[in-house]
Structure 1
Amino acid sequence: MADSQYDQFLQEATTQEPESDHALGRDCLYGLYTSWCFLNQATPQPEDAFWAAMKEKQIHPKRTGLRMKGPAAADYILASYPALV
């Protein structure tokens, strides 16, 4: 069975750090997801569908325990902070 878009996103763009004080918050995780979709030429799902899927994966919006990694992280950071370019 193929991984879902969300599974691929989590595998390619995040890393688990449950004890980190710098885990991604709600807005950042969804923003990272939209960057990942853009880079992979995938259509991002609406935020409510995204969070429903994250809930199934036991990822809570206030305590994700996730950090960003990979090309989507760079894209998200540059898109969020255009003064860095």
Structure 2
Amino acid sequence: MAHSQFDLFLQEATHLDQASDHSLSGDRLYGLYTSWCFINQQAPGMEAAFWAGMKHRISPSHNGLRMKGPAAADYILASCPGIV
């Protein structure tokens, strides 16, 4: 069964933590997606296409998602260049 780019992104770059009160904000989730695309040498979709693809995959209000993997490190370093 073929997985879409969005399914692979969610599998490889996020972790579902339903017990947590915290969720990734929309900006952070899209930023993580662009980092994941960069690492995997894939062209990221436009933000509107990303949200259309996420519409039936996650809850927009409380998604319970956490960052994980190389895309998380890339996103954090790109967001806070003073860290290194």
Normalised-by-shorter TM-score class: over 0.9
Where in structure 2 are the equivalents of 1:1-85 lying within 5 Å? 1-57=1-57, 59-85=58-84
Q: Secondary structure at the match of 2:55?
A: helix
Question: Would you say how many aligned residue pairs link Structure 1 and Structure 2?
Answer: 84
Taking the aligned partners of 1:20 and 1:74, their CA distance within structure 2 comes to 21
Identity %: 67
Deviations 1:18-70 (A, max 9, x none): 2313320100000000000000000000111111111121x133322100000
Taking the aligned partners of 2:30 and 2:62, their CA distance within structure 1 comes to 14
Aligned structure 1 segments of 4 or more residues deviating by more than 2 angstroms: none
What is the root-mean-square deviation of aligned Cα atoms in Å? 1.0
Q: Which runs of 5+ in 2 are unaligned?
A: none
Greater CA drift, 21-30 or 66-75 = 21-30
Taking the aligned partners of 1:50 and 1:5, their CA distance within structure 2 comes to 10
Task: Tell me the TM-score normalized by structure 1.
Answer: 0.92
Following superposition, the deviation at residue 10 of structure 1 comes to 0.3
Taking the aligned partners of 2:77 and 2:21, their CA distance within structure 1 comes to 22
